[in-house]
């Protein structure tokens, strides 16, 4: 007997009582019915790589239009994108939406028992089962799947197909189940298991899919392989999650992306009466840690590869699912800062990243009208040396520091990078990145100069080195970090002291040989100076320097100051003088080419230097001071 996981009477009660639930249900029904009417897949459609689905002009993510397979129009800049890469990426997105809609159809069937939903799910499963051997994909080497482009996307799709099938299981005959098992799910289990050969977010999804296939079809051997093998779920978590509870790739999006499939495995295990205690404990910690280190506005620091503007609202669906599995106050707190005024539109795709201000299907299934918020007061400063993150904070200012690297995969070359929030507004933040097929990603977002750090000789930081905490005092909001060998023969030391609305920043570059040293800071607002800078030639043609826009230069040996003026606050940057200092004012891209922000690059030459700067955060607007 499979245990129910959703209280359908409570779901219907919420729909009857609350506007948010009625809205989600209405949107879900309209969306699902649209797919049921339009669905017409073909084995001739080659599934491609989703990261190609970004505008070639402005690098915005393209809107997926399910009724327009060859029209890839950018609503941001108006550019029409054309070509095989776009068409095949569209095919992947089509199948990804279909897989999620199978789950949606199962939800709607559970509410009203309309067999039209069951018939449509059968239609999708029959297509994959009948055409599995002839389906084609075209994606980068090493990531080849079978039905949805990459092997990772196959795993995501398989999980949503299984979730939908779980909800209509009583309507499927044993003959149907055997056909789906032999022609689709066991071949997928074999493919996904054979491709899982590392500790990485991709094998997490693949092994979770294998485990769920084993549970659904009562194939215990597949469950054991997925859980217990060298790259199985237990080892993925024991080797991939740091002591703090963060995924080793050092990105908040990949942290949640990695954790997400484990939530579904734990739900299936609960329904099938399978105990996974070591997995359960670690996954819970993975959802507690972000509550402890997030900015107070519900946004996350965004180091390394990630989608822009990461916030709790992008992962509210996961927290809804976890809140149904565990009684833990951190989970509800995360949900209390996910909707309405805390909602931030998500750029991400993959998994279940569909988000809405009221929530989406997960809130319909498990959510409620009001969530309890923790009386957390002001969380204390913290230094997490296993993932090399630090957060200094007081009542008005929050300062995030990434001072080293846990591993190279998905990392950006930006040791000693900082992010700043003032009065819950992000004034200087990591732009992360968009699609990996984007020129903006390759030439700017993943470059050292696009971050708040130091660049040597105009080249990306050469090594992803581990950082060291030389000093940390939570009471005084002070920290000092060291990273040796960031470049050959070059060490970085950054000391930070946060006191009220002031931040002292001392960045030391150690080098025995003469080098060109560029201290870089990007900030929101309008850049104002009391000195006159003059237009100058580009500083370089590679490693992001070619994208320093509207470049101007001012040379001085004296102390100097600039202001970044926002609507209701000003960031004042002052730096002590040193002979031969060159100050470059520029504008740089953020997460699309449409949005730019100002920045300052301070250049010195010699055998090491110390950049002594101070930030003052003026609230209420500069003109009032």
Helix axes 329-336, 277-293, angle to 10 degrees: 40
Question: Which residues of the chain are under the pLDDT cut of 50?
Answer: 624-625
Task: Give the Cα separation of 444 and 457 in Å (integer).
Answer: 17
Interval 24-34: pLDDT, tens: 999 999 999 99
Residues 289 and 423: their CA atoms lie apart, in Å, by: 22
pLDDT for position 383: 97
Range of the domain at 557: 383-624
Looking at residue 625, its pLDDT comes to 46
> Within a domain: residue 610?
yes
Rounded-to-integer distance, Cα 36 and Cα 546, Å: 48
Q: Per the domain annotation, does 612 fall within a domain?
A: yes
How big is the chain by its Cα radius of gyration, in Å?
A: 25
Q: What is residue 416's predicted lDDT score, i.e. its pLDDT?
A: 98
The full DSSP string for 462-526 is S--PPPEEEEEETTTTEEEEEEEEEETTEEEEEEEEEETTEEEEEEEEEESS-EEEEEEEE-SSE
Q: Cα separation of 454 and 457, whole Å?
A: 10
What are the E-state strand segments in 532-608? 534-535, 549-556, 560-565, 569-575, 581-589, 596-606
Contact present, 399 and 472 (Cβ < 8 Å):
no
**In this structure, are residues 391 and 400 in contact, taking their beta carbons and an 8 Å threshold?**
yes
Q: Find, among 174, 219, 169, 175, the residue nearest to 193 by Cα.
A: 219
- Centroid of chain to Cα 617: 28
Crossing angle of helices 151-167/84-112, nearest 10°?
Answer: 20
Q: Look-up: residue for tokens 């992000």?
A: 426
pLDDT of residue 340: 86
- Distance between CA atoms of residues 553 and 535, nearest Å: 6
- 596 within a domain of the structure (yes/no): yes
CB atoms near residue 558 (< 10 Å) = 10
Buried b (16+ CB within 10 A) or exposed e, 432-469: bbbbbbbebbebbbbbbbbbbbbbbebbbbebbbbbeb
Contact 501, 522 (CB under 8 A): no
What are the residues facing 389 on neighbouring strands?
Answer: 384, 402
What's the length of the chain? Answer: 625
Encode pLDDT of 561-592 as tens digits: 999 999 999 999 999 999 999 999 999 999 88
> Within a domain: residue 308?
no
- The CA-atom distances, in angstroms, between 204 and each of 141, 210, 392 are 19, 10, 32
Q: Is residue 388 part of a domain?
A: yes
Do 420 and 438 meet the contact criterion of CB atoms below 8 Å apart? no
Number of domains composing the chain: 1
Residue 59 lies in a domain: no
pTM over 0.75: yes
For position 490, which CATH number holds? 2.70.98.70
Question: In the beta sheet, which residues pair with residue 487?
Answer: 490
Residue 566 belongs to a domain: yes
Q: What does the pLDDT read at residue 172?
A: 97
Q: Specify if 424 maps to a domain.
A: yes
């Amino acid at each position: 007997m499979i245990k129910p996981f959703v209280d359908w009477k409570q779901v219907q009660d919420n729909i009857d009582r609350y506007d948010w639930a009625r809205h989600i249900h209405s949107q879900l029904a309209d969306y699902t019915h649209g797919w049921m009417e339009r669905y017409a897949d073909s084995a001739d459609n080659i599934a491609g790589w989703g990261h190609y689905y970004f505008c070639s002009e402005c690098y915005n993510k393209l809107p997926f239009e399910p009724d327009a397979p060859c029209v890839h129009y950018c609503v941001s800049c108006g550019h029409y994108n054309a070509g095989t890469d776009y068409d095949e990426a569209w095919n992947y997105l089509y199948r990804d939406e279909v897989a999620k809609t199978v789950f949606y159809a199962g939800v709607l069937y559970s509410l009203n028992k309309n067999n039209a939903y069951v018939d449509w799910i059968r239609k999708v499963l029959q297509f994959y089962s009948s055409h599995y051997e002839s389906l084609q994909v075209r994606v980068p080497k090493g990531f080849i799947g079978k039905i949805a482009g990459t092997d990772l996307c196959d795993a995501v799709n398989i999980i949503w197909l299984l979730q939908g099938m779980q909800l209509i299981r009583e309507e499927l005959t044993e003959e149907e189940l055997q056909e789906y098992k032999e022609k689709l799910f066991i071949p997928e289990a074999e493919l996904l298991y054979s491709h899982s050969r590392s500790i990485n977010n991709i094998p997490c999804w693949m092994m979770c899919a294998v485990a769920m296939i084993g549970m659904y079809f009562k194939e215990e051997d597949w469950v054991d392989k997925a859980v217990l093998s060298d790259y199985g779920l237990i080892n993925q978590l024991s080797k991939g999650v740091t002591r703090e509870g963060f995924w080793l790739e050092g990105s908040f999006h990949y942290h949640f992306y990695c954790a997400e499939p484990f939530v579904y495995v734990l739900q299936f295990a609960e329904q099938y009466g399978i105990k996974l205690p070591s997995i359960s404990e670690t996954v819970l910690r993975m959802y507690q840690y972000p509550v402890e280190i997030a900015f107070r506005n519900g946004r996350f620091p965004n180091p390394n590869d990630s989608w822009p503007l990461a916030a709790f609202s992008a992962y509210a669906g996961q927290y809804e699912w976890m809140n149904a599995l565990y009684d833990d106050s951190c989970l509800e707190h995360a949900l209390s800062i996910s909707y309405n005024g805390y909602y931030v539109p998500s750029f991400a795709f993959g998994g279940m990243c569909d988000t809405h201000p009221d929530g989406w299907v997960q809130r319909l299934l498990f959510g409620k009208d009001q969530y309890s918020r923790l009386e957390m007061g002001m969380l204390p400063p913290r230094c997490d040396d296993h993932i090399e993150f630090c957060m200094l904070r007081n009542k008005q200012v929050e300062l995030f520091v990434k001072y080293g690297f846990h591993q190279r995969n998905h990392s950006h070359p930006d040791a000693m990078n900082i992010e700043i929030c003032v009065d819950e507004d992000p004034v200087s933040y990591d732009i992360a990145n968009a699609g990996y097929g984007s020129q903006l990603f390759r030439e700017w977002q993943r470059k050292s100069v696009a971050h708040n750090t130091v660049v040597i000789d105009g080249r990306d930081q050469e090594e992803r080195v581990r950082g060291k905490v030389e000093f940390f005092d939570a009471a005084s909001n002070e920290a000092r970090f060291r990273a040796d060998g960031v470049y050959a023969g070059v060490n970085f030391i950054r000391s930070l002291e946060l006191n009220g609305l002031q931040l002292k920043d001392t960045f030391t570059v150690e080098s025995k040989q003469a080098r060109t040293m560029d201290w870089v800071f990007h900030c929101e607002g309008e850049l104002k100076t009391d000195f006159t800078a003059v237009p100058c030639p580009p500083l370089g043609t590679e490693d992001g320097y070619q994208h320093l826009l509207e470049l101007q230069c001012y040379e001085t040996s004296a102390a100097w100051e600039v202001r970044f003026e926002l609507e209701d606050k000003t960031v004042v940057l002052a730096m002590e003088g040193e002979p031969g200092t060159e100050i470059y004012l520029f504008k740089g891209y953020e997460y699309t080419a449409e949005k730019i922000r100002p920045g300052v690059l301070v250049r010195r030459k010699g055998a090491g230097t110390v950049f002594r700067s101070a930030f003052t955060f003026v609230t209420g607007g500069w003109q009032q001071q």
